[in-house]
A = this chain, B = another copy of it.
Amino acid sequence: MNDMTPVTTLKDWETDQEVRWCPGCGDYAILKAVQRTMPQIGGTPENTVFISGIGCSSRFPYYMETYGFHTIHGRAPAVATGLKLANPELDVWMVTGDGDGLSIGGNHLMHVLRRNVNMQIMLFNNEIYGLTKGQYSPTSREGTNSPSTPYGSVDHPARPAAFALGSGARFVGRGFDVSKKLPEVLKASHAHKGAAFIEIFQNCIVYNKDVFEDFAAPKGAGDRQLCLEHGKPMLFGDPKVGFDKGIALDRDTLTLKVVDATEENWEAAGVLVHDQTDRTIAHMLIEMPFGPFPMALGVLYDDPRPTFEAAVIEERAKSAAGKEANLAKLLGKGQTWTVDANEGHPTD
């Protein structure tokens, strides 16, 4: 992580606006995690912009003492792209929800990832539409009872990280609201040049209470969370007493499996070492079903390639090279003729 000497403190990133989420909402914790991260990455409030769509999550910009734009439902990636192309110097953070980003806004999300615009994209996944009072969302689990699915939803849920990777994302991270490790993921996303996608599981205590408790609850978390670190073996289990399990790959069937392993014998047990640039493994980790497996958290994939705005700038420079921005000449381009003052008729 490329921490810098902080020139700001957490306080510098707080606005004077009353925070208007429901008491106990996971968004509070994410807000704090972000405010905690900003000094550590050496951010300056005036050069930082938060862009969001619409949803509870998308209220985020109001609480950050930076520039901020609470746009319209689903369109934050497009607004952020224009902003970034117009001023690539700005540090742009996008905030979206599972509805905002994956329902109405899925297409823009795909394209911002594909183009690889350099920004951090935080998708607060609470598996529900919070702001509109609890309808199921594209990430809601099958059978979700909600006002619009009183007998249970029947859609197969979208998987944000799989969608991101399929769309061409070069950074895919995962965290959850109250996780202590969230700032680390955010820092890594910021260090990544290009579009960095971070799925943040967030507890909507009003409409989808504790859906992530199975892995997010502190009790037994070690067994249920696989905290990935580049170059480190994929071990889990309670770190306080020593890891006792690991993720290995059955190279015949190309499927992952959980094996008994400790920090000492993991190599022998065949535990995988996390290579965040390995796309195949990234696919597997993303599709790894929770339950039989722990939830993969941290940086799942990070393999930068040139950013969109860099390419646009380069292309603009190249195509403008040697050309003069002479408006008079431009207006008078092509085949012209002159009407003479005396005759009022053309002379050439």
Contacts and interface: CB of A to CB of B under 8 A. Distances in A.
19 contacts: A106-B111, A107-B110, A110-B110, A114-B155, A115-B155, A116-B156, A150-B319, A151-B319, A152-B315, A154-B312, A155-B308, A158-B167, A158-B168, A163-B166, A166-B166, A254-B278, A279-B287, A280-B280, A280-B283
Interface in A96-122: 103-107, 110-111, 114-116
Copies of chain A in the complex? 2
Which of A152, A158, A252, A319 has the most chain B CB atoms inside 10 A of its CB? A158
A237 interface: no
Contacts of A319: 150-151
Interface residues of A, number: 46
A315 B159 CA distance: 23
A278 B251 CA distance: 13
Interface of A: 103-107, 110-111, 114-116, 138, 150-152, 154-159, 162-168, 251-252, 254-255, 278-281, 283-284, 287, 305, 308, 311-312, 314-315, 318-319
A14 B100 CA distance: 43
B110 A163 contact: yes
A167 B168 contact: no
A105 B108 CA distance: 10
